Amino acid sequence: MSKNQISPLAPKNFPALPQIAGVLAATHSLGLYKSGRDDLLVVHFPNDAVVAGALTKSSTRSCDVNWCAEALKFGKAKALIVNAGNSNAFTGDAGIAKNEASVTKTRALTNCDAAEVFLSATGVIGVPLPPNIIADSLDEVWRKLAAPDFEQMARTISTTDTFFKGAGKSFELGGKTINIAGIAKGSGMIAPNMATMLVYIFTDAKISAGALQKMVSAHVETTFNAITVDSDTSTSDTLLVFATGEAGNNELGDDEVFSAALFDVMHDLALQVVRDGEGAQKLIKVQVSGAISAKSAKIIAMAIANSPLVKTAIAGADANWGRVAMAVGKSEEHIDQAQMSIRFCGQMVAQFGGAVAFDESQIDEKMQGDLIEIEVDVGVGTDSFTAWTCDLTHGYIDINADYRS
């Protein structure tokens, strides 16, 4: 857990998640934190798993992300290795050597192919680790493998997080019970070009790799690619979904029931990341409608959600709709100012290119809440997009000014 105060937007408790057959896990301390807390997570799939994912589009992505990009082409997993405290980004040959040593040792323990080992790391950029730091710990970690403790797993991968993030679902499909359980970390450096955080989701469903990848690619656009905390895209972040196939169901293709359940888990985790935005006091929902295309709606919504002026106004409980209008304009997307309208918390504040009269005392009361809704109709079409963000407070500066100390 971060030394920072728990977000006021945090859930009351970590959820009770279903166990996933075919998944074993263990955590361990590499000593990357002064406290000695666990900072290494290992997940093992004894009978293999199908895997799909989405990765950051950063052009300075880490050695681990580059490794996963190649491994995902094969769609099969035997192990996942994650460390917190060091991102293994901008570490050059030393970072590659660390990964090669970790994979070589894992292969010796599991008799698997190199492409079946997935790697992730999060933390400080540009500090090389000793090449065998993980490999030398794996014998001990393997002896500790057991049924997953999802809360401990989420705790282990956290960095500046103020609470541990988990979501899950169980449902009937074809006479079989299907379980999904996921964990995530993320609090800052959140501005999606996928994935801008670490997210690991596990299911016992039997599903083809192609169908799973299709679902993940579709859902990521309206979940993790629809959130932002600070407009900074991480070098390291990764979403991986593993399916062990041990539920006993017939192999799924484009199944709507499973797809909807997977979306729910992804959406839940994505919103938890925003709720834990560094220094956040308010959750902000930005709904853009009336756009010429879905792509245009998203660009406009993210321009609003990423605006420091909008976010600081919300922090001050100020329904400053002029800043929203500014953010719409800076997107340079096609709109009709004469038809545009803006609402704060359901209250119309601007319409047809100008202000409208409204009861400021009523909206001031609504702006004190912890969920602020901004609705903008840009008046040129029928497409829409919803983005999620949080306010920008002095707490964000305090956390990031002190990050490496």
Distance of CA 396 to the CA centre of its chain: 18
Are the C-beta atoms of residues 38 and 152 closer than 8 Å to each other?
A: yes
Are the C-beta atoms of residues 249 and 73 closer than 8 Å to each other?
A: no
Residue 17 lies in a domain: no
| pLDDT at residue 233, rounded to an integer | 59
Same domain as 289, residue 271: no
pTM, full prediction: 0.93
Same domain as 384, residue 268: no
CA distance 276 to 282: 10
Structure confidence by residue, pLDDT tens digits, 21-48:
999 999 999 999 999 999 999 999 999 9
Same domain as 203, residue 131: yes
Tokens representing residue 145 in the block: 């493998």
Same domain as 257, residue 175: yes
Structure confidence by residue, pLDDT tens digits, 339-383:
999 999 999 999 998 999 988 888 999 999 999 999 999 999 999
Structure confidence by residue, pLDDT tens digits, 80-106:
999 999 999 999 999 999 999 999 999
Domain CATH for 73? 3.60.70.12
Same domain as 235, residue 301: no
CA distance 64 to 66: 5
Domain end, chosen from 275, 300, 323, is at: 275
Residue 39 lies in a domain: yes
Same domain as 299, residue 266: no
Q: Is 106 a catalytic residue?
A: no
Other Cβ atoms closer than 10 A to 395 = 18
Amino acid present at 115: A
Other Cβ atoms closer than 10 A to 7 = 24
CA distance 99 to 87: 12
| pLDDT at residue 15, rounded to an integer | 98
Structure confidence by residue, pLDDT tens digits, 306-340:
999 999 999 999 999 999 999 999 999 999 999 99
Can you say whether the dihedral through the CA atoms of 6, 2, 195, 292 is positive or negative?
positive
Are the C-beta atoms of residues 294 and 383 closer than 8 Å to each other?
A: yes
Domain CATH for 302? 3.10.20.340
Q: Helix 256-275 and helix 209-220: axis angle, to 10°?
A: 40
Contacts of 143 (CB under 8 A, 6+ apart): none
Name the residue range of residue 183's domain.
24-275
Percent of the chain clearing pLDDT 90 (strictly above): 84
CA distance 91 to 285: 37
| pLDDT at residue 197, rounded to an integer | 82
Q: How confident is the model at residue 403 (pLDDT cuts 50, 70, 90)?
A: low
Mean pLDDT of 3-26: 93
| pLDDT at residue 188, rounded to an integer | 56
| pLDDT at residue 404, rounded to an integer | 53
| pLDDT at residue 196, rounded to an integer | 46
Residue 387 lies in a domain: yes
Q: How confident is the model at residue 58 (pLDDT cuts 50, 70, 90)?
A: confident
Residue 79 lies in a domain: yes
Structure confidence by residue, pLDDT tens digits, 271-312:
999 999 888 899 999 999 999 999 999 999 999 999 999 999
Same domain as 328, residue 298: yes
Residue 19 lies in a domain: no
Residue 213 lies in a domain: yes
CA distance 117 to 113: 7
Same domain as 236, residue 180: yes
Which position among 196, 223, 233, 235 bears the catalytic label? 196
Structure confidence by residue, pLDDT tens digits, 101-131:
999 999 999 999 999 999 999 988 899 999 9
Same domain as 261, residue 189: yes
Q: How confident is the model at residue 229 (pLDDT cuts 50, 70, 90)?
A: confident
Mean pLDDT of 148-174: 96
Contacts of 100 (CB under 8 A, 6+ apart): 131
Does 224 have pLDDT greater than 60?
Answer: yes
Number of domains in the chain: 2
Buried b (16+ CB within 10 A) or exposed e, 356-387: eebeeeebeebbeeeebbbbbbbbbbebbbbb
